[in-house]
Amino acid sequence: MARYHVCEEDDVPIGKVKAYKAGGRTVAIFHLDDGFYSTQNDCSHLFAPLHKGTIIDGSQIECPYHQTRFDIRTGAVMCWADHPLLDWIRAKKALKTYPVTVEAGQVFVEL
């Protein structure tokens, strides 16, 4: 695992998500009430950019394409897209999550 600097703490206000490049991937950095979290940025359904989604109930991200919802802290699927044909193509799959640390106002992610 390697550690990457992604942004400053103030770059992502509480209740928001932004995407950053780290280690050749794009990760989503979420700032929730209790701190920062990171997941893969591409939706595990059909790869939509999750940073363009909506944070629901302060702890879930809803994908902008087919409204699959994931727990931001664990990556678990809370509500899978309701498209029977697409379900046949893409089975339910959790998001990868990555440890985030904040030091002196700088945000780091481990991949």
The contact set with ligand FES (CB under 6 A) reads 43, 45-48, 63, 65-66, 68, 81
CB of 55 to ligand FES, least distance (A): 15
Nearer to ligand FES by Cβ, of 43 and 107: the residue is 43
CB of 44 to ligand FES, least distance (A): 8
Query: Which has the closest alpha carbon to 22: 38, 45, 44, 11?
Result: 38
Nearer to ligand FES by Cβ, of 38 and 68: the residue is 68
Give Cα 58 to chain centroid, integer Å. Answer: 13
How far CA 88 is from CA of 58, 91, 109, in Å, comes to 30, 7, 33
